[in-house]
Structure 1
Amino acid sequence: MERVDVAIVGGGPAGASAAEQAAAHGAETVCLEQGVPREDREELGPDSTDAAGMLDYWVDIMDEDYQDIPDDVVLQELSGTDFVGPSTTVSLDTTGMDSTYPGFGFTFHRARMDDWLYERARDAGADIRVGTSVSTLETDLAASGPTHTLTLSGGDELEADRVVLADGPQRRITMDALDQFTPPGSSIADQLSPPTANHIAYQEYREFPEEIFSEDRLKFWWGWMPGETAYPWVFPNDGTVARVGLTMPIGMTLDDVAHPVSYRLLDPSDDGIPSGATYVDRLLEAVYGDEYDVESDMPRVEDRGKSKGTETYPISSTRPIDSPVDAGIAVAGGAMGTTSAFHEGGYHVAVRTGKIAGRLAARKQLGTYNDVWKRAIGSEVARNVSFADIVADYEPDDWDRVFAVANGMIGDGDDRSLLQRGYSAGIGASKLLLAYKRRKFGYRNGGYVQFAEDEYVY
């Protein structure tokens, strides 16, 4: 039976980053990625998990020097973002966060970014096997230390001393692997089952008329469609191609919507929640249909994405869990719940948690993993789950109200950053800030973790 020091299940941003760090720190490392086909690449690659946008401070969370990112990865430099409510819009030209990246952010080519991470991992000595999936993982807690047996799709077995689970929001291997160490009568699926813990995202690549293509701004529409942290977006790509997409909860029905008539992208004739493609058509018609024929003036670019210019993929929308580190297992990225539908997935946190897991696995220091990842990304996680909690029950009027408050909190001049005026912006701003601070205080000291390290049973 083949044996390695570190086996990594999943080759997305978390898995590839774990592989690079594990190999760079001297471990014999294999990374196993099932792989999916895409229109815009010749070979199989990792599944897409976000709309491929990167804000300035996210580059620092990734622990990357932005100057190292290849030029062909970056598609558009961004100057800001627009949050569009039913009748009120907020425009931000800075994130307000300290960062080494000199601009607001950028959009990037997901497959090329993945390939860059793979190239670095292979250069470090990792064995990257795309097209090889894992069927099961079983752990033997021997007195001499844990041993993990991975059964591959072809029936072969692989033995590893330490394992990094990075199989993304679908968690195909993670849930059963962790259930080996959950208390009797419970399951990690209570926290991480994809149908309840994930959102579904859908996007299309569309060619825009040059005169309305916003090459340097992200656009999000809040309060236009129902669902907790459900919203459409437009991300500028290369040329005049943009990704038009949306995220929404899995399994939502119209019975879950209190006031369907208040949402602009719902129609009185709907007998169910519209499909992603229908939502995209309705958004483009609502925003541009008075002046353009959407079908002919904004055609789908069919040689992009996963299939004929479209992509459907899961995004984790839950709080993270700790890993059973005493069993020699670390969970990273979307598999552990650190990505978020509230901020478009989380390529940045996936890369960072993967790096930490790979480095510690190589050094035989996985016992510190849960503490180290919290120090690295804890503020980002607490911020996102706090905001997501606050807006969970928002309806269209709530978005207009909070956007009006936000406009009052943004300073005058060129540097339009939220919270620049803080409590001086009035009672509405004070209430919003207080609600956020209360939520965030409740998640102090890692309180956002929903399954803690000491809950595992060995």
Structure 2
Amino acid sequence: MERVDVAIVGGGPAGSCAAERAAAHGAETVLFEQGVPREDRTDLGPDSTDAAGMLDYWIDIMNFDYREIPDDVILQELELTEFVGPESRLELRTTGIDAEYPHFGYTFHRARMDDWLHERATDAGADLRVGTGVKSLETDLRAQGGPTHTLTLSNGDQVEAQYVVLADGPQRRITLEALDQFTAPGRSVSEYLSPPEANHIAYQEYREFPEELFAEFEDTLKFWWGYMPGETAYPWVFPNDGTVARVGLTMPIGMDLEDVPNPGSYKLLEPTDEQIPSGSEYIRRLLEREYGDEYDIEVDIPIVEDRGKSKGTETYPISSTRPIESPVGANIAVAGGAMGTTSAFHEGGYHVAVRTGKIAGRLAATDSLESYNDVWKRAIGDEIIRNVAFADIVEEYEPDDWDRAFETVNEMQGTEKSGAIIERGYAAGIAATKLLAAYKKRKFSYRDGRYVQLTEDEYFY
């Protein structure tokens, strides 16, 4: 049987970065990625589907120097984001968080970014086996020399590893069963993370815009809040290369129209609707509302059929939840979306996947994995708290609430010195005197890692 120091399951941003760091620190490292075909790459690769926007401080969270990211990865530099409410608008020209990158952020080509991370891992000496999936993982806690793992591959071969990094994304095809080895009888990690059914679905279309229209938002991320029902449900427009933009949305899975209070208050619902519209119908209605007076949407803003996964469109799940700790006593680290760091608020969480992968790979290679849970919380804890606190506050927001929120933040921007504006945006409530207090209270409730759903001491070894 083949034996390695570190085995990594999944070749997305978390897995690739784990492989690069583990190999760079001298460990014999192998990464397994089952791979999917895509028209935007020459070889098999991970399922690289994302709205793919990057804020300035997220680059620092990834622990990259922005100057080392290849030019062909970045599609459009950004200067602001615009939040559109039913009757109000809010512009943010700074995240309010210190960052090295000189712009608000950028949009990027996700597959090219993934490929660059793969190149880094290969250059460091990792063995990337793209096209080879993992069927199962079994752990021997009593093996001589410490816990060891046997990975059974899709081709029937087996590989033994001292350390394993699980980075198979929010669908967690291997992670759940692997971690269930260490849960109490009758319990499952899926009770915390809730796959294989993600709780949000994202849909996007690549659209070619008239040049004069694209110029209006070529440096802007645009989001519409309070236009469609559901917790963390919103459409967006992200500028891409040329005059192509990705027009997409995020919405909960399995939502029924009869569960929507005040359906008539949502601009993208119609009185004749008998069910929640599909993603494509939502997009059509958004474009008609915003641009239909001047343009024939299907003629002047057509879908670019040679982009995306299926004739100019892409659909992908987002398991938006709170993270879990890893069973480090079993020599296992879970990183990125597999551990629950994805969020519908930031379109998945590429930046936290990169950082947790780097940490997991480095610690596994240096026989220091026991500190992983503490180290990743220090690295990305503030970002996780921002997202879960905001999610709590806006959970039951209706259209009027979003308008009041944006009006409040607009007033705060005019009266307060520049600073943590993104914090104020996340904290948006119904009045300036209450919103910061509510936000800080939520954040305080998650102090000392209390945002974690499943802690290390709940595993059984």
Q: TM-score range by the shorter chain?
A: over 0.9
Match of 2:240 in 1: 237
Would the aligned equivalents of 2:408 and 2:430 in 1 still touch at CA under 8 Å? Answer: no
Shift of 1:417: 7.0
Match of 1:386 in 2: 389
Closer, same or farther in 2 for the Cα pair 1:420/1:381, shift >3 Å? closer
Whether 2:173 is the aligned partner of 1:172: answer yes
Shift of 1:411: 2.9
Match of 1:299 in 2: 302
Instruction: Name the % identity.
Output: 75
1:331-350 superposed Cα distances (whole Å, 9 cap, x missing partner): 00000011211122111000
**Partners in 2 of 1:248 and 1:111 — Cα distance?**
24
**Partners in 1 of 2:313 and 2:188 — Cα distance?**
34
**Partners in 2 of 1:421 and 1:33 — Cα distance?**
40
Would the aligned equivalents of 2:49 and 2:316 in 1 still touch at CA under 8 Å? Answer: yes
| SS of structure 2 residue aligned to 1:121 | helix
| SS of structure 1 residue aligned to 2:255 | coil
> What letter corresponds to residue 184 of structure 2 in structure 1?
P
After superposing the two structures, state which structure 1 stretch, 385-394 or 33-42, moved more. 33-42
Whether 2:150 is the aligned partner of 1:149: answer yes
Shift of 1:42: 2.6
- Match 2:347 to one of 344, 351, 362: 344
> What letter corresponds to residue 175 of structure 1 in structure 2?
L
Shift of 1:308: 1.2
Would the aligned equivalents of 2:49 and 2:110 in 1 still touch at CA under 8 Å? Answer: no
> What letter corresponds to residue 183 of structure 1 in structure 2?
A
1:239-271 superposed Cα distances (whole Å, 9 cap, x missing partner): 100001011112222133122221111122222
| SS of structure 2 residue aligned to 1:357 | helix
Whether 2:19 is the aligned partner of 1:16: answer no
| SS of structure 2 residue aligned to 1:145 | coil
- Match 2:260 to one of 253, 257, 262: 257
Shift of 1:416: 9.5
> What letter corresponds to residue 406 of structure 2 in structure 1?
F
Shift of 1:409: 0.8
Match of 1:329 in 2: 332
Would the aligned equivalents of 2:97 and 2:419 in 1 still touch at CA under 8 Å? Answer: no
Would the aligned equivalents of 1:374 and 1:446 in 2 still touch at CA under 8 Å? Answer: yes
Would the aligned equivalents of 1:169 and 1:334 in 2 still touch at CA under 8 Å? Answer: yes
Match of 1:163 in 2: 164
After superposing the two structures, state which structure 1 stretch, 426-435 or 359-368, moved more. 426-435
| Number of corresponding residues | 456
**Partners in 1 of 2:429 and 2:124 — Cα distance?**
54
Match of 2:250 in 1: 247
Closer, same or farther in 2 for the Cα pair 1:190/1:197, shift >3 Å? farther
Closer, same or farther in 2 for the Cα pair 1:426/1:245, shift >3 Å? closer
> What letter corresponds to residue 182 of structure 2 in structure 1?
F
Shift of 1:102: 1.1
**Partners in 1 of 2:424 and 2:49 — Cα distance?**
35
**Partners in 1 of 2:21 and 2:265 — Cα distance?**
49
**Partners in 2 of 1:380 and 1:43 — Cα distance?**
33
Match of 2:68 in 1: 68
Whether 2:38 is the aligned partner of 1:38: answer yes
Match of 2:121 in 1: 121
| SS of structure 1 residue aligned to 2:367 | coil
1:108-143 superposed Cα distances (whole Å, 9 cap, x missing partner): 111110111000000000111111111111111015
Moved >6 Å (runs of 4+): 412-417, 419-422
After superposing the two structures, state which structure 1 stretch, 314-323 or 61-70, moved more. 314-323
After superposing the two structures, state which structure 1 stretch, 128-137 or 323-332, moved more. 128-137
Would the aligned equivalents of 2:320 and 2:342 in 1 still touch at CA under 8 Å? Answer: yes
- Over the aligned positions, Cα root-mean-square deviation in angstroms equals 1.9
Shift of 1:43: 2.0
Match of 1:210 in 2: 211
Structure 2: state its 5+ residue gaps.
Answer: none
Match of 1:102 in 2: 102
**Partners in 1 of 2:430 and 2:71 — Cα distance?**
46
Question: TM-score w.r.t. structure 2 length?
Answer: 0.96
1:18-49 superposed Cα distances (whole Å, 9 cap, x missing partner): 00001000111111111122232232211135
**Partners in 2 of 1:289 and 1:140 — Cα distance?**
62
Shift of 1:199: 1.3
**Partners in 2 of 1:174 and 1:197 — Cα distance?**
14
> What letter corresponds to residue 181 of structure 2 in structure 1?
Q
After superposing the two structures, state which structure 1 stretch, 290-299 or 34-43, moved more. 34-43
**Partners in 2 of 1:87 and 1:403 — Cα distance?**
10
Would the aligned equivalents of 1:80 and 1:216 in 2 still touch at CA under 8 Å? Answer: yes
Whether 2:454 is the aligned partner of 1:430: answer no
| SS of structure 2 residue aligned to 1:282 | helix
> What letter corresponds to residue 39 of structure 2 in structure 1?
E
Closer, same or farther in 2 for the Cα pair 1:236/1:421, shift >3 Å? closer
Structure 1: state its 5+ residue gaps.
Answer: none
| SS of structure 2 residue aligned to 1:111 | helix
**Partners in 2 of 1:138 and 1:346 — Cα distance?**
28
Would the aligned equivalents of 1:195 and 1:250 in 2 still touch at CA under 8 Å? Answer: no
**Partners in 1 of 2:457 and 2:416 — Cα distance?**
50
Whether 2:268 is the aligned partner of 1:271: answer no
Whether 2:82 is the aligned partner of 1:79: answer no
Match of 1:56 in 2: 56
Closer, same or farther in 2 for the Cα pair 1:440/1:171, shift >3 Å? same
